[in-house]
Every structure is written in C-alpha cells, then in structure tokens.
Chain A
Amino acid sequence: MSLLSTYLEHIVKVLPDLVTGSLITIEITSFALFFGMILGTLAGLGKLSKKKLFRYPTIVYVDFIRGTPLLVQILLFYYGIPGLYSNATGNSLNFDPILAGVIVCSINSGAYIAEIVRAGIQSIDKGQMEAARSLGMNEKMAMKEIILPQAFRRIIPPLGNEFIALLKDSSLLAVIGVHELLKTGQLYISRTFAAFPVYIAVALMYLLLTIVISRLVTYSERRLGVSDRN
C-alpha cells in the first residue's frame, strides 16, 4: 500500500515534466512529418521518374535511410558531421539538439514516406493518367490534378502509421539530449531513482499520444473518403 502511494506520488510529481516533454515530442514529430512529406513526395516521384538523374539519387537515399538504424543516423548527424567539420576547417560546429532532431527525423521519415507515396501513386489505375493525357494535360498537370489527389487519400492510413512510428522513434533523440518525453522522465529518475513508476508513466504517455493520432487518422480518412468511391 505504501509502495503504491509512493509510486503515485512520483507520477503526480513527474507529470508536469512529462507534459512539457510530450509537447517537444509532438513538435519534433509534427515538423519532421511535415518536411518528411515534402521530401517523401519528391523522392517518391523521383523513384517513379523515367530519368536516371532523378531515379538513382532517390534510390540511394531511400535505401541508405531504410537500411540503417535511426539511432546511428542521429549520432552520425549530431556528432559525426560537426566532427568532420572541425577536422576539415579547424573551427567548431554545434547543432541545437532539437533542430538536429527535426532534421534527422525529417530525412528519416522522408525515405519511408517516399515508399508510401510511390505505392500510392502506383495503386491508381493507369486509365486515370491516360484519360488525363488524352484530354491534352501534360504529365505534370495530370500528376497534380488527377493522380496525386487520389493517391493522397489512399496514403492517409500508411501515413498515419508512419506518424505513430516516428513519434515513438523520436524517443531515440534522448541520446543527444533533446528534452523530449523520454528524456524528461529520465532526468526525473536520475534525481529520484524512481525508475518503475516513471517509465510506466512515460510509456502511458506515448500510448495516449499514439491512440489520439490513430483516432485523428481514422477521422480524416472518413472525412476524405466520402466522395471517393468509384
């Protein structure tokens, strides 16, 4: 009984920190998803391009990111690049951890979203492009007006999954000192040694966030789905 009340006390005490950390987590994840979508759409189109000049770089990008751990990417970016810079120029370079986190997570999610976008575009019936082209639209116009809007509706569910995965993976940014959800919990633990209740609270916070996101995804799917059944 007294153990439970001690745990509850810790949870109540750590909760404000965790809320602050959650906001950072949401902020980083949202920015990363936004830039990841831009990057991913470009890379997805690049992968489908007939031009080698566009196709090959995107293949290298997507394969490199998907084939290496995010933790390694974070360390490479945050410690590796400043190290290279100082070796090469003799000057020092420091990244702001949050900015570094957003950049690495954007680049990372861009690669996954590229695959989602590619699959979404390829799932649209070939007749749609042909109909658009037969009306005199050029390829770019047909993509923008006809293919991408339809593909976008189809990629909302996998994009939602990517959002959730990214939110959970952003906890890795704790290793470079970003004060996101996990890190705020760890800082509290290092002061109080209350590992069990705090990690439970951290886990529940992540769970809460991912549940909210998947609800939002289902909702927007339904909103956009109404007009779109052939």
Chain B
Amino acid sequence: MIEIKGLYKRFGDLEVLKGISVDIKENEVVCVIGPSGSGKSTFLRCINLLEMPSSGDIIIDGQKITDKDININRIREEAGMVFQHFNLFPHKTTMENVALAPIKVRKLPKEEAEKRALDLLNKVGLADKANVYPSALSGGQKQRVAIARALAMRPKVMLFDEPTSALDPEMVGEVLGVMKDLAQAGMTMIVVTHEMGFAREVADRVLFMDEGTIMEQGTPSDIFSNAQHERTKSFLSKVL
C-alpha cells in the first residue's frame, strides 16, 4: 500500500536519510525504533511531505506522491499524523479541534463533522471533554484528542512520531491503549516509538533505523530476541 524506493533526504550538507526502501502493506502495523538522530522523524515526515524528499519515490495506493505536480494537500489528507508534542489548536475546543479539518478540507456539513467528532471522542474516551479547551486537558488526554483529530479525516495511514515521549509515565498506557484499539480495527500504522513493550505486542514488523538507513527489520521476535546486527543488539541492550 505504501512503497518507498531509494528515499534520500539532505538538509544542506547533512544527509539524514540514505536510501531507504521499504514496502508497507494495508492493515500492517510497523514500529520504527532506533537511536535519537537516526532519521526516524524525518522518515515519517517525508511520508506526508512535511519534508520534501531529496530523491527517491514514495507511492501511496498506486499514486506517486513524489511527483512534482502532485497536490500535496491531497496526500496529507490521506496520511494522519500524531506528534510528540500533540500540537492541538489552543484556541479551539476539543470538539473544534477534531471537527475543523473535516469541515474546512473535506467540506463536510458542520453537524455531520461534529457528529463524527463526537463519535471519535467517544472512542478515545473523551466525549465528556468535547467543550473544553486543550489547556484544561492532561497530556494523555491531549494526545488522545490529537489521535481523534487525525482520524476525523479518515486517513489511509496513521503516522505516529513518538506519541508517548512527552507524557508523564502514568499517562502512557491510556494513549497506547487507544493505539492498540486502532491497530486491532485494521488501521495501517507507522509508529516511531521507544515503547518496546508496545512494539513487541502490537507491531507486525519492526524496523531498526540507524544513521539514515534501515539497518535491520523483521517480526518483533526476530528483532527483540534474535537481532543479527551488532548495532541493533547494542541499541536494544540500552533500551530494554
């Protein structure tokens, strides 16, 4: 469903992604692990074109999104993104956060968008917070709203960039719980995470990234119990 071929990304002289090739199937949950600075965020950001790849192709559902004349906004509609720091809109209520893009971008009637938003807030357990502003929510609640907001666009794939890294430990579980439900419902997901327990339990495949390449990939048990590369083993020994 997502084909990535020879993806390179440079920032000036700094080559951050060095020829990444990977295919991701529909309904697949892929966890990306690796040391800080290895290019995990950049990799995700290239998939919804928040960063323009320097070279290489990304094909989503048969459509080559790296073509020059592609409508970038269309691509972003199809790939939902969840950020480490939530990035909720502070001047909008929870409900408005979730309903805004469907109304403005998908041109959904307001009532329908709000119904959809309430439905999603219900799914992430926050229907009772529909009318409060983000400032009144805990970190875990903010991230669940952010997930609902991305889902409201009915994306084909969900991209998560360390969604629990900015959370207090007691709030990590509630967010991972929502993500687990989503995985079980069949959503295609790419998750950059340091939560090895989540990767082991939920991922169909784990990618280990190091210095801009995919050093090693496999099922969770391949990676966690039977890593081949020295770099992978040494990384895992530090985080497990």
A and B assemble together: yes
Residues of A at the B interface (CB closer than 8 Å) are 125, 127-128, 130-138, 141, 145-146, 149-150, 153, 227-230
User: Chain B residues with Cβ under 8 A from A146's Cβ?
Assistant: 89
Judge if B233 is at the interface, Cβ distance under 8 Å.
Answer: no
Which residue of chain B has the shortest Cβ distance to A130 in the bound complex? Answer: B50
> Does A131 contact B74, Cβ atoms closer than 8 Å?
no
Q: How far is the CA of A174 from the CA of B150 in the complex (A)?
A: 58
Which residue of chain B has the shortest Cβ distance to A139 in the bound complex? Answer: B73
Q: Which of B24-32, B75-83, B108-116 contacts A (4 or more CB under 8 A)?
A: B75-83
Residue of A127, A135, A150, A230 near B105 (CB, 8 A) is A135
> Does A229 contact B85, Cβ atoms closer than 8 Å?
no
Residue of B50, B74, B88, B146 near A133 (CB, 8 A) is B50
Question: Which one of B48, B76, B90, B106 has the highest number of Cβ atoms from chain A below 10 Å of its Cβ?
Answer: B90
> Does B90 contact A130, Cβ atoms closer than 8 Å?
no
Q: How large is the interface on B (under 10, 10 to 19, 20 to 34, 35 or more residues)?
A: 20 to 34
Q: How far is the CA of A224 from the CA of B161 in the complex (A)?
A: 32
Q: Which 6 A-B pairs have the closest CB atoms?
A: A136-B77, A131-B87, A135-B101, A134-B81, A127-B87, A230-B90
Given A127-B83, A127-B87, answer yes or no on A136-B74 (Cβ-Cβ < 8 Å).
yes
Interface positions, chain B 45-103, Cβ under 8 Å from A, are: 48, 50, 73-74, 76-77, 79-81, 83, 85, 87-91, 100-101
Q: How far is the CA of A132 from the CA of B74 in the complex (A)?
A: 13
Given A130-B83, A145-B104, answer yes or no on A135-B76 (Cβ-Cβ < 8 Å).
yes
Residue of A128, A137, A150 near B73 (CB, 8 A) is A137
Q: How far is the CA of A127 from the CA of B83 in the complex (A)?
A: 8
User: Chain A residues with Cβ under 8 A from B85's Cβ?
Assistant: 127
Q: Give the Cβ gap from B92 to chain A, nearest Cβ, in Å.
A: 8
Q: How far is the CA of A216 from the CA of B89 in the complex (A)?
A: 27
Q: How far is the CA of A111 from the CA of B20 in the complex (A)?
A: 48
Q: How far is the CA of A11 from the CA of B163 in the complex (A)?
A: 68
Judge if B224 is at the interface, Cβ distance under 8 Å.
Answer: no
Q: How far is the CA of A136 from the CA of B14 in the complex (A)?
A: 29
> Does B83 contact A131, Cβ atoms closer than 8 Å?
yes
Given A130-B50, A137-B104, A137-B105, answer yes or no on A229-B87 (Cβ-Cβ < 8 Å).
no
Given A127-B85, A130-B50, A149-B91, answer yes or no on A228-B135 (Cβ-Cβ < 8 Å).
yes
Residue of A128, A130, A132, A229 near B135 (CB, 8 A) is A229
Judge if B134 is at the interface, Cβ distance under 8 Å.
Answer: yes
Residues of B at the A interface (CB closer than 8 Å) are 48, 50, 73-74, 76-77, 79-81, 83, 85, 87-91, 100-101, 104-106, 133-135, 146, 149-150, 153
Q: Give the Cβ gap from A138 to chain B, nearest Cβ, in Å.
A: 5
30 A–B pairs (Cβ distance < 8 Å), ordered by A: A125-B87, A127-B87, A128-B87, A128-B89, A130-B50, A130-B87, A133-B73, A134-B48, A134-B76, A134-B79, A134-B150, A135-B80, A135-B100, A135-B105, A135-B149, A136-B76, A136-B101, A136-B105, A136-B153, A137-B73, A141-B105, A146-B89, A150-B91, A153-B91, A227-B133, A227-B135, A228-B90, A228-B133, A228-B135, A230-B90
Given contacts A136-B74, A136-B101, 5 further A-B contacts (CB under 8 A): A131-B89, A136-B153, A150-B91, A227-B133, A229-B90
Q: How far is the CA of A153 from the CA of B89 in the complex (A)?
A: 14
Residue of B74, B90, B150 near A135 (CB, 8 A) is B150
Q: Give the Cβ gap from B26 to chain A, nearest Cβ, in Å.
A: 21
Q: Give the Cβ gap from B138 to chain A, nearest Cβ, in Å.
A: 13
Q: How far is the CA of A32 from the CA of B176 in the complex (A)?
A: 54
Q: How far is the CA of A134 from the CA of B135 in the complex (A)?
A: 22
Which residue of chain A has the shortest Cβ distance to B89 in the bound complex? Answer: A146
Which residue of chain B has the shortest Cβ distance to A149 in the bound complex? Answer: B91
> Does B91 contact A227, Cβ atoms closer than 8 Å?
yes
Which residue of chain A has the shortest Cβ distance to B79 in the bound complex? Answer: A134
Q: How far is the CA of A125 from the CA of B134 in the complex (A)?
A: 15
> Does A150 contact B90, Cβ atoms closer than 8 Å?
yes
User: Chain A residues with Cβ under 8 A from B90's Cβ?
Assistant: 150, 228-230
User: Chain A residues with Cβ under 8 A from B149's Cβ?
Assistant: 135
Q: How far is the CA of A23 from the CA of B90 in the complex (A)?
A: 39
Q: How far is the CA of A229 from the CA of B87 in the complex (A)?
A: 13
Q: Give the Cβ gap from A126 to chain B, nearest Cβ, in Å.
A: 9
